[in-house]
Amino acid sequence: MATIVPRWEWRTFGARFGIAEARFAALTPGPTQESEEVYFLGGGAGAIVKVRDALMDVKLLREVNADQLERWEPVMKQPFPLPAADAANVFAALGLPAPVLARAAYALDQFTTELCPLGPLRPVKVRKRRTRYTVEGCTAELSDIWADDKPSRTIAIESENPAAVVAAVAAVGLTGYVNTNYPRGLQALLDGAPERYAVIDVGTNSVKLHVAERVAGGWRAVADRAELTRLGEGLDAAGEIAPEAAARTADAIAEMADEARRSGARAIAAAGTAGLRIARNGGLVADQIRARTGVSVIIVTGEEESRLAYLAVKAGLGVPAGSLVVFDTGGGSSQFTFGEGDRVDERFSVNVGAARYTERFGLDRAVPPETLRDAMATIAADLARLDGRTPPDALVAMGGAVTNLAAVSHAMTTYDPDIIQGTVLGRTEIDRQIELYCASDADARRSITGLQPKRAEVILAGACIVRTVMEKLGAETLTVSDRGLRHGMLAERFG
């Protein structure tokens, strides 16, 4: 064989790739090639064995680096008929004992029909339609494949320079996808492994995990949970995230990432919101999270957060006729999107979050009427951007505060997202709950049916924000969306 320089390779499989497909569509494609190949599956994961262009092609995995890129070394490109010694080497590459080799050489059909049935070696016919691109100086391929007539798609990026591969993966929006080589990808396709993806929302008050499986017509939730880590504890006063809060949050993300990987997620996307966005050390904390968990947290702008929330409403509730306002209130900020139908007219973020007012006014305990009035007045002033607007035809709210308000209104002993989704809350119910929380400290609030115990400290501030938004926009009721930023990211990133 001619000298071949080993290259670092990265690959993923799936039915659709969301934002990556749009980025590939904006590139200049190279030639499209079609081929019919045979892959041999079985044995260890350290070899790729296939037949292409009537050549037995064997590559061995030599190295996996810290970014999980794989370096494969070609060790055989042998024409058929395949000499018995080379046939034995194929089995050895896969870590399998060679069967008795009765022939001096084997044609492809003889190798397949005589030798494969004698051991755990499975021939798989694979048709490929490959289109090549250049991304960040790397060779990239977007391919449609059919493995024993089962369809899938795969994207591959390779280069002699591993850093260039990592940059190219990020450039096409595929950061967080698991590097999956051909043997593993084909085996998962043939076994009918579900196509699952995970999104982690790193908020100022809580971290949320959503794992979903692609099904006909949409997505099915596999896991959806939140962990209150109080990333923004002390942020308002100090201007930066405390080491203890960063450590708590990184630990929660590590557990969620492990859970996602165990469930078979093909990719993990993570977004950081107001806490990381506002803090002087937000970028440093995101780097620390990546080092601790392997998860890259993208710190999104307030406008981007608003847009993703709007996507979540569209995907989960549908877009009602007439004007619509969607707002998402969190621990450090609130995002607003104004639109009509599929059209977005305006979106923005304001630094109005439950954690900030809880600390400022001591709302984690029972408070007198004058303290409540001061807090509401400050929230109203900070939401001045809502003043003077025409009341919308529909108001949709999301986030931990409003979903907990809905759960308390239902006296829900076990949280059920399907019941929460679409719940209608009126001003009277929110006023009732504000009075309830004003009369209770955090310990007493934890006994309230429907309230998540870890949200006891911030629920009063969250309720005050929700009530003020309704007042400002002239809405007597709002509709609750259990779907949030993580669902919008799921729809956009993974198609």
Task: Establish if 321 belongs to a structural domain.
Answer: yes
My answer on whether 204 and 140 are in the same domain is no
Q: Tell me, yes or no, whether 260 and 330 share the same domain.
A: no
* Residue 307, domain member (yes or no): no
Same domain, residue pair 468 and 360: yes
Apex CA 266: angle with CA 260 and CA 270, to 5°? 60
Q: How confident is the model at residue 311 (pLDDT cuts 50, 70, 90)?
A: confident
Q: Which domain holds residue 450?
A: 317-493
Residue 55 maps to a domain: yes
% of the chain residues with pLDDT over 90: 78
- Local confidence band at 119 (pLDDT 50, 70, 90 cut-offs): low
- List the CATH number of the domain containing 382: 3.30.420.150
The reply to whether 308 falls in a domain is no
Q: Are 10 and 72 in contact (CB under 8 A)?
A: no
Mean model confidence pLDDT for the chain: 93
Q: What is the pLDDT of residues 12-49, one digit of tens each?
A: 999 989 889 999 999 999 999 999 999 999 877 689 99
Q: Does residue 305 lie within any of the structural domains? A: no
pLDDT at position 130: 97
- 264 plus 372 within the same structural domain: no
126 and 43 in a common domain: yes
- Domain-embedded: residue 1: no
Three-state DSSP state, 110 = helix
Let me know if residue 418 belongs to a domain: yes
Residue 331 confidence (pLDDT): 86
Give me 301's structure tokens: 């702008």
- The CATH number covering residue 118 comes to 2.40.320
Which has the closest alpha carbon to 194: 288, 299, 265?
265
Q: What is the pLDDT of residue 319?
A: 64
Task: Give me the pLDDT at residue 332, please.
Answer: 87
The CA-CA-CA angle for residues 307, 295, 398, to 5°, reads 30
Residue with tokens 């962990």: 227
Last residue of a domain, one of 191, 219, 243: 191
* 274: its two tokens: 């107001």
Is the CB of residue 211 less than 8 Å from the CB of residue 280?
no
Is residue 253 pLDDT above 50, yes or no? yes
Task: Kindly report the pTM of this predicted structure.
Answer: 0.77
Q: 157 with 136, same domain? A: yes
d(CA 11, CA 446): 47
For residues 357 and 152, give the distance between their C-alpha atoms in angstroms, rounded to a whole number.
50
Please write the tens of the pLDDT for every residue from 410-436: 999 999 988 999 999 999 999 999 999
Count of structural domains, the chain: 3
Question: Do residues 174 and 302 lie in contact, with contact meaning Cβ atoms separated by under 8 Å?
Answer: no
C-alpha angle with apex 475: 473 to 479, nearest 5 degrees?
Answer: 115
**pLDDT in the model for residue 401:** 94
435-440: long-range contacts at Cβ-Cβ below 8 A with a sequence spacing of 24 or more?
437/463, 438/366, 438/367, 438/369, 438/372, 439/366, 440/366
**What 3-state class would DSSP assign to 38?**
strand
Q: What is the structure's pLDDT at 1?
A: 47
**243: domain CATH number?**
3.30.420.40
- Rounded to whole angstroms, the Cα distance separating 158 from 172 reads 13
Q: Averaged over 64-85, what is the pLDDT? A: 94
Residue 4 pLDDT class (50, 70, 90 cuts): low
For 146-197, what is each residue's pLDDT tens digit? Answer: 999 999 999 999 999 999 999 999 999 999 999 999 999 999 999 999 999 9
Residues 86 and 170 in one domain: yes
The pLDDT score that the predictor gives to residue 308 is 85
Q: Per DSSP, what are the bridge partners of residue 325? A: 338, 395
Whether residues 74 and 138 fall in one domain: yes
* Domain shared by 381 and 418, yes or no: yes
